Amino acid sequence: MTLFWFLQQLSVPLSQCWSKSELRNMASSSVSFWILLITVCSTDGFVYFQTYWCDFNSTELNDIEYTASYYYQKLEFTRFSSSLGKYVGYTDYGVKNAEAWNNNPAYLNQARAQKETYCQPNIVIDYSNILSKSAKPYVHLYSTTPPSGRHPSMLVCSIYKFYPKYIKVSWFRDGKEVTSDVTSTEEMENGDWYYQIHSHLEYTPRSGEKISCVVEHASLKDPLRTDWDPSMPESERNKIAIGASGLVLGLVLSLAGFIYYKRKARGRTLVPTTN
């Protein structure tokens, strides 16, 4: 079945076509390398949408994931993933598509080759360009009081001074990714070409656990992992730091007063008194 036949068989209102802003939002939801986007939205109401992605952490072939997705009416019906090496269907029509394409050796081998023939050469070029025009993020991980009573503790992972805009922030607890009780802000402009973002994790502490905030960004060759030290809440550490500073300041002032007193005592002339 050809693409032309597929388009001739389907009809939807033109209002179902995706707007440019929707396509930009979809593209910005990933830190992937955007390869190709094909949109068909004809005057008589047909709509068809394809995306081809290369996700990468480096220019090495093993670190590249090629994905081809096929959409109709904003719904993905078939996807090819290089990690699976085959097509997968998500609707009745998509399942039939995937089965037919997987049983076509020439078509399947062509899709499997895209990671090496298309992704890798382009990534070699774009990876160096991105790194030369990017700024690495600065991460600050701290605890605070949660706004609700669902959990007694909350961690905040604040990421500052990064460029370009798109970034991924994840939470891990004892090596497993945490997705529940996590909220994040949008990337916010600083007004100086840099961006910041803040992610919150509400949780109930467990003895001996390890919680990490992991940041993935185009400026980083490897994900940036920041581990939380639960041995002492930050508020307590701040109190100790303030107390220590006050103690040092008090000792300095006391020493200065003692020196001043000794100098004044040396300058005095003792006058004997008579009865």
Tell whether 79 is covered by a domain: yes
Question: Does residue 147 lie in a domain region?
Answer: yes
pLDDT given for residue 174 in this prediction = 93
Within-domain flag for 256? no
Instruction: Report yes or no on 247 lying in a domain.
Output: no
Strands across the sheet with 64-72, in order? 33-41, 47-56, 64-72, 75-81, 86-89
Between CA 137 and CA 155 the distance in angstroms is: 18
Residues 70 and 162 in one domain: no
| Higher pLDDT pick, 36 / 78 | 78
Residues 123 and 167 in one domain: no
Q: Are residues 84 and 161 in the same domain?
A: no
Higher pLDDT among residues 174 and 243, named by residue: 174
Q: Which of 117, 132, 147 is the last residue of a domain?
A: 132
Residue 243 lies in a domain: no
Pair (27, 96) in one structural domain: yes
Domain limits for position 218: 138-227
| 227-262 confidence digits (pLDDT tens) | 998 775 555 555 544 655 666 677 777 777 767 667
pLDDT over 50 (residue 222): yes
Strands 224-227 and 176-178: unpaired
Q: Does one domain contain both 35 and 119? A: yes
> Both 29 and 55 in a single domain?
yes
Residue 116, domain member (yes or no): yes
Task: Establish if 265 belongs to a structural domain.
Answer: no
Please indicate, yes or no, whether residues 120 and 178 belong to a single structural domain of this protein: no
Q: What confidence score (pLDDT) does residue 212 get?
A: 96
Quote the tokens at residue 66: 């090629």
Using the 3D structure, point to which of 83, 99, 132 is the last residue of a domain: 132
Please count the structural domains in the chain: 2
* Same domain (yes/no): 117, 193: no
* 38 and 107 fall within a common domain: yes
Residue 104 has pLDDT above 90, yes or no: yes
Question: Are 102 and 48 part of one and the same domain?
Answer: yes
Q: What is the mean pLDDT of residues 190-201?
A: 90
70 bridge partner residues: 50, 78
Q: Whole-angstrom Cα distance, residue 198 to residue 232?
A: 22
CATH code for the domain of 218: 2.60.40.10
User: What DSSP string runs through 66-107?
Assistant: EEEEEEETTEEEEEEETTTTEEEESSHHHHHHHHHHHT-HHH
In terms of domains, do 102 and 206 share one?
no
pTM of the model: 0.44
- pLDDT above 50 for 13: no
Last residue of a domain, one of 114, 132, 150: 132
pLDDT band at 225 (very low <50, low <70, confident <90, very high): very high
- Whether residues 66 and 160 share a domain: the answer is no
Whether 245 is in a domain gets the answer no
Looking up residue 42, the CATH number of its domain turns out to be 3.10.320.10
